[in-house]
Amino acid sequence: MGWVVGGVWIGAVVLAAVILGFCAYEIMWKSQRVQRDLERLNGLNEELAAAQRELQSARRRIADAAETTG
């Protein structure tokens, strides 16, 4: 009867190790994915900032042209 209890405990420890290993893998994978997404979003943010600067420059040129012709 004692071997049944020991077997159950061993099974529980093995199951817990498998679950914890899977959780660690998932956390690492998701952390890497979030890091890649952050890098991509930072790149998009830089592109957006450049587009905003270009838009401001175009607005200034339009305003300057309107002042000189008007």
Q: How far apart are CA 13 and CA 37, in angstroms?
A: 36
pLDDT reported for residue 37: 98
For the chain, the domains span: 21-70
The letter for the amino acid at 61 is R
The pLDDT tens digits for 50-63 are 999 999 999 999 99
Number of residues that this document lists for the chain: 70
Angstrom CA distances, 38 to 21, 22, 28, stand at 26, 24, 15
Angstrom CA distances, 43 to 34, 47, 51, stand at 14, 6, 12
Answer whether residue 67 shows pLDDT above 90.
Answer: no
DSSP string, 1-20: -HHHHHHHHHHHHHHHHHHH
Of residues 64 and 44, more confidence is placed in 44
The pLDDT tens digits for 8-48 are 999 999 999 999 999 999 999 999 999 999 999 999 999 99
At 70, is the pLDDT very low, low, confident or very high (cuts 50, 70, 90)? low
